[in-house]
A and B are shown apart, each in its own frame.
Chain A
Amino acid sequence: MGPTSTGIGNRKLGMWTFIGSECMLFGTLIATFLIYRGRNVVGPYPRELLNIPFITVTTFVLLMSSLMMVLALAAVQRDDMRGAKIWLFMTGFLGLIFLGGQVFEFNHFVHEGLPLSRNLFSSTFFVLTGTHGAHVAGGALWMGTMFTHAAQGKLDSNHSETVEIAGLYWHFVDVVWIVLFTLIYLLE
């Protein structure tokens, strides 16, 4: 990396700028969800369908994936590539488990008579959590790519910024879920 006027790598600053813009994207989706909350004129209503214990488990899985990610970065920085491969794999794997939980939840809602266009809750819920899920899917794909690079010997401590940038994205997806878990499920 060459010197920059800010002293920060351009790719890293770019990722943080992207994350700042993503805050605004999720801000508008969260605002829409909150505005339309409690204004359903037809059921089923969220209280009848939301499964708090199940979502708590998937939330825990996503939180632990963040731990795996930060351990992967620490391993790359000390050139422990065996550890890096394990933690990168686990990050993506836990992300996929979270996604599986989301698919299960969506499927359950649809079977209970709550498709996307049923009422205001379903429209805002599916769009908001679906957008987050798409971000998780993109992150899991990114983890898979980095794991493949690590397995091929193309990743070492000289590429730690690459892993750090992917980690920033993954942790952002995690903090967004921290907010969504509280606002959608617990403050319902």
Chain B
Amino acid sequence: MTQEAGHTHPSSRFYVVIALTLAVLTAMEVMVFYVEALAPVLVPVLLVLMSVKFALVAMFFMHLRFDNKLLTGVFVWGLFIAIGIILILMAIFGKLAG
């Protein structure tokens, strides 16, 4: 970590590690998709992997981990409404019942 302009910023090597982690997680997603034995747990496993990738980019590449918490609040509020829209509409149209 280095100090610049009053904020803590990770080193370039740290960013490369995050990018490699994202690449590995993507490879895991595709692997899970092709392994038939994992079909019963496909949906939860893929949703977890997707969420981890999402969080890594938001926290480290978008610097939410190091920035003012107000910015996290602005983002999470929009995200909260978006997820609410998706779940409510899916429930209304009977897509959550399976």
Contact = CB atoms under 8 A, between A and B. Distances in A.
A21 B78 contact: yes
A67 B15 contact: yes
Contacts of A172: 62
B86 A179 contact: no
A46 to B, nearest CB: 14
A131 B54 CA distance: 19
Interface residues of B, number: 47
A134 B4 CA distance: 34
Contacts of B49: 182
* Chain B interface main SS type: helix
A16 B78 CA distance: 10
A138 interface: no
A52 to B, nearest CB: 7
A178 to B, nearest CB: 5
A59 B27 CA distance: 10
Given A23-B81, A70-B61, A175-B54, 6 more contacts: A31-B90, A167-B62, A172-B62, A179-B50, A182-B47, A187-B46
14 contacts: A19-B75, A21-B78, A28-B82, A35-B90, A35-B95, A56-B27, A63-B23, A66-B19, A67-B15, A77-B5, A174-B57, A186-B30, A186-B32, A186-B33
